Amino acid sequence: MPGNMFNDKGRLNIPEIEHDERKTIKAEVVVNAAYCPEGHNLISVDHDVSGFPGIIVRFRGRKSGNGLVSLSAVFGDTSYSVIEGEVDPNEPLVFSCPNCGTELDVLASCPCSPEAVTVMCYLYPRKDPHQAIAFCNVLSCPNSAVIRSGEIIRMLSELHL
Ligand SMILES: [Zn+2]
Ligand SMILES: [Zn+2]
């Protein structure tokens, strides 16, 4: 039997599916430049992740030690590939620029674990937190995928109005 066109209050039944479709479209967006606080581009054509040049950062952790990881530059994609060393995907890591060693700027804390934070890479060589991407410093966290921090900041301020 086909679904009722009207619900029991006599109103039209309208399926709500639009939100999920929007997410799928966003996952296709790729970052092609991501800068450290000192203006070094972290995107490397030598280390593809998910078919696109990755974001290369140095990591440091109590359990993980030191190493180098390439993060996916695709929005919403949590893939990464370890280039140097070994990483504990559940540990909050310190991310820094492989060129100058400057630690990435912190945007906010992340609810996934007590020490977890989201860190930023800037979309332009000058530091502008409204034109940046952000990701959690715990690689297993769903927020470790690249998000646009400017968009997130705008969304939050709209919600508070
Ligand atoms: Zn740098
Ligand atoms: Zn997290």
Nearest alpha carbon to residue 92 among 65, 106, 113: 113
Per-residue pLDDT averaged across 104-132, rounded? 91
pLDDT at 26: 43
Which one is predicted more confidently, 30 or 38?
A: 38
Per-residue pLDDT averaged across 10-26, rounded? 55
Q: What percent of the chain has pLDDT over 90?
A: 58
How close is the Cα of 2 to the center of ligand 1, in Å?
60
pLDDT band with cut points at 50, 70 and 90 for residue 50:
very high
How close is the Cα of 113 to the center of ligand 2, in Å?
6
Per-residue pLDDT averaged across 61-76, rounded? 94
How close is the Cα of 35 to the center of ligand 1, in Å?
7
pLDDT at 28: 62
pLDDT at 13: 64
pLDDT at 142: 85
60 burial type by CB count under 10 A (0-12 exposed, 13-18 middle, 19+ buried): middle
| pLDDT of 93 strictly over 90 | yes
CB 61 within 8 A of CB 28: no
Cα–Cα distance measured from residue 139 to residue 61, given in angstroms and rounded to the nearest whole number = 12
How close is the Cα of 75 to the center of ligand 1, in Å?
22
Report the b/e string of 91-100 with b at 16+ CB within 10 A: bbbbbbbeee
Cα–Cα distance measured from residue 20 to residue 83, given in angstroms and rounded to the nearest whole number = 34
pTM: 0.76
Nearest alpha carbon to residue 69 among 50, 84, 48, 49: 84
69-89 per-position pLDDT tens digit? 999 998 888 999 999 999 999
Domain ranges of the chain: 28-159
Strand pairing partners for 117? 109
- Please name the residues in contact with 145: beta carbons below 8 A apart, sequence gap of 6 or more: 72, 75, 76, 77, 78, 135
